[in-house]
Structure 1
Amino acid sequence: MSQNIPLSPRPPHPLHDVAHRVLSVAQLRARGVSAAQASAQCLPGGPWQHLLPGVYLLHPGPPTGRERLHGALLYAGRPPASARRAEARPSESGYGEAMVTGLAALALHGFATAPDLGSPHRVDVLVPRTRRLRSTRFVEVVRAAPIPVGAYRDGLPVAPVERALADAVAGLAEARDVRRLLTEAVRGGHGEPAAVVRELSAARLLGRPAVADALDALRAEGRAVAEERLYAMVREHGLPAPLWNVDLRLPGGPHLGEVDAYWPDEAVAVELDTRAIRSGAAGGAERDGAAHGGAGADGQWSAYAAKRERLERLGVTVVHLTPGKLREAAEQQATVVRTALMASADRDPAAYVVVLPR
């Protein structure tokens, strides 16, 4: 049999209109190419090659990083037999519910510390737990129930940063590598520390030595980023300058608590609520559906509540702000603080407290 047989007697759609040169057997069939014809094109010396089971690479050279990603998604997505045009909407891409996760997803999200997409690393692909699909060649199948809501990056479906991080960390043994990824997630603004820790907790990764060693760096980075957002909120929304990072005490008396910002004339304090960064357990759930405990978060919240009660008994208004709200709604949070400052004129004078640097 000739290795250069025509793709079909009269193909309904010419193959030169395919942007990525990677097609599934179903997509080829929709273009008039039978499985036998496709296999013939992949004989030694032929112009095509089998990239993955049921997926063909329409040139003889090594696949590019993008072609590997498309091939992995086509393999995991099992596209329908109907033809897919190059300009089809993402929902018509043939990927089904499959999405890239792990290190490849982080690279698509823009992580500088993730391997380049052109490197020959494995491609993790997230699929529904009910899918009967095996990992093969460079594709690692990862199952989830339910499938998270992803996003499109460069035309490819990608798992959310927190889920992609957890799947990437699951395959890393070195604390150094884990620390770099987690630190960049927060420093680069890709995700909230609390959400990252919750996903790691749900994946039951917090007990791994490499992850446990990296958590201190994540907490410190998350705290620093939250403080930067608080400084920016005060500056950009015209709030009066407070005393930053102070310790409040009664004159000659007990310690009342530390706060992140304090306006002594108005007796208004702001405290960053970063307790979830430490535990990641509040409201979380295991991926297998079992309830996840939140004792650490509950204990931290009790400490917050006790401090707030002590201060408010003395006439100090305490405003709790979360890192997420500072990121997503800084103007709204500035309004909350401004309202508390303005309301001080209508309150009874607060007790005198000593303000010391933290």
Structure 2
Amino acid sequence: MNHNTPAPLSPRPLRHLVEAQRRVMSGAQLKAHGVAAAAVHEQCRPGGPWQQVLPGVFLLHPGPPTSEERLHAVLLYAGRTADTRRATDGVPAQPAAGDAHGAPVVPYTDALVTGLAALTLHGFVSPPPLLSLDHIDVLVPRTRRLRSTDFARLVRTTGLPTPVQLDGVPVAPVPRALADAIGQLAEAGAVRRLLTEAVRGGHCEPAAVVRELTQARLLTRPHVVDAVDSLLAEGRAIAEDRLYAMVREFGLPDPLWNVDLRLPGGPHLGGVDAFWPDQAVAVELDTRTPRQDEPAVYSEYVRKREHLERLGVTVVHLTPKKLRESLEQQAAVVRTALMASGDRDPAAYLVVLPR
């Protein structure tokens, strides 16, 4: 007998799996832990302690799965984990790394929770509770050879977005999750509630939502278009409120709000959101969306800015995202433009009219 030959690995006790690992595991993970398929089958007999909840995915206790277990079950079914890859390669599994609470973290790949379930994880309150969802949408590469089954509904994509990790679950970013949710909704009120919460709750900018809806070809649906129009109006109103707050909170001089600029007896130069006539500084909110970004629209946008600057007006462009994420920094940009006005040649005389 060769005493240098390592002893074969012994299967870990099933009790250990229940206590130390997640209470939902794939067949590949169980195999990697030394649990044979026959043993799994025995545990899943009627009245047994385990049950199969999705093809190749097992719940290691009797009774219905929790909302967290349903999430991990669809990810195990649709995606891959490090344990799955090791088992496929014939490499024994290693203990999973734990998070701050000691719970093992399973590094899923090729699958993200999306749709209504993802929005709930992002903190939305308008979607139904996770346990009441008939399906959990999971985003997978288009090349994955799987089908939707039971409560796992596959959403295929040519490229997975960068996931957001929420409670150990890889989740699609809000704009993508919104598009996937809206793609399954036919009721106009539900679509409007989701879009309104996305903007009012500060979850994302309208432009990012419109971009995803455009890519998903959902802007051909009348009830979606109507909701998007309300979304854009809501987004602009919120950006305007933040602009007012910026001027007030950071002690900027009061401007003239929402005015049109003209040359005396000449053409209309365009509207601006705020204007300081003594310093010839204007602020314009850039709330264009992908639908408004055609070459002709963008050319007009650039033409107005360049014409004002040739007349000596400094135009400061602020986006809703900048106002939401760095209000103090944007106030500093405007203050710098106001202070620098004394170093510039005097601007042309302009007629200012209410817009």
* Shorter-chain TM band: 0.7 to 0.9
> How far apart, CA to CA, are the structure 2 residues paired with 1:247 and 1:16?
69
Is the partner of 2:353 in helix, strand or coil? strand
Q: CA 1:49/1:205 → structure 2, altered by over 3 Å: closer, same or farther? A: same
CA RMSD of aligned residues (A): 2.4
Query: Which range moved further: 330-339 or 96-105?
Result: 330-339
CA contact (8 A) 2:98 2:105 kept: no
Shift in Å at residue 210 of structure 1? 2.2
CA contact (8 A) 2:270 2:304 kept: yes
Partner in structure 2 of residue 99 of structure 1: 112
Is the partner of 1:172 in helix, strand or coil? coil
- Aligned 1:26-37 pairs, distance under 5 A: 26-37=28-39
Equivalent residue for 1:117, pick from 116, 127, 130: 130
Shift in Å at residue 15 of structure 1? 2.4
CA contact (8 A) 2:199 2:205 kept: yes
Q: CA 1:210/1:57 → structure 2, altered by over 3 Å: closer, same or farther? A: same
1:62-113 superposed Cα distances (whole Å, 9 cap, x missing partner): 1111111010011112331325536169996152221101110011001111
Partner in structure 1 of residue 68 of structure 2: 66
The alignment's TM-score, normalised by the length of structure 2, stands at 0.87
CA contact (8 A) 1:66 1:118 kept: no
Query: Which range moved further: 261-270 or 114-123?
Result: 114-123
The alignment's TM-score, normalised by the length of structure 1, stands at 0.86
> How far apart, CA to CA, are the structure 2 residues paired with 1:11 and 1:314?
80
Shift in Å at residue 137 of structure 1? 0.7
Partner in structure 2 of residue 46 of structure 1: 48
Is the partner of 1:275 in helix, strand or coil? coil
Q: Which runs of 4+ in 1 moved over 4 A?
A: 88-92
- Aligned 1:121-136 pairs, distance under 5 A: 121-136=134-149
1:174-208 superposed Cα distances (whole Å, 9 cap, x missing partner): 12111111111111111111111111111111112
Residue identity opposite 1:110 in structure 2: G
Shift in Å at residue 123 of structure 1? 0.6
Partner in structure 2 of residue 291 of structure 1: none
Partner in structure 2 of residue 268 of structure 1: 281
Are 2:256 and 1:259 aligned?
no
Taking every aligned residue pair, what percent have the same amino acid on both sides?
Answer: 68
Unaligned runs of 5+ residues in structure 1 are 1-7, 283-294
Shift in Å at residue 243 of structure 1? 1.6
Partner in structure 1 of residue 332 of structure 2: 335
CA contact (8 A) 2:308 2:314 kept: yes
Are 2:329 and 1:356 aligned?
no
Partner in structure 1 of residue 245 of structure 2: 232
Partner in structure 1 of residue 57 of structure 2: 55
Are 2:187 and 1:174 aligned?
yes
CA contact (8 A) 1:99 1:159 kept: yes
Q: How many residues align?
A: 335
Query: Which range moved further: 107-116 or 336-345?
Result: 336-345
Is the partner of 2:132 in helix, strand or coil? coil
Equivalent residue for 1:146, pick from 154, 159, 172: 159
- Aligned 1:292-311 pairs, distance under 5 A: 295=294, 298-311=295-308
Q: CA 1:193/1:240 → structure 2, altered by over 3 Å: closer, same or farther? A: same
Are 2:222 and 1:220 aligned?
no
Partner in structure 2 of residue 285 of structure 1: none
> How far apart, CA to CA, are the structure 2 residues paired with 1:77 and 1:9?
25
Partner in structure 1 of residue 343 of structure 2: 346
Residue identity opposite 2:44 in structure 1: C
Partner in structure 2 of residue 195 of structure 1: 208
Residue identity opposite 1:54 in structure 2: G
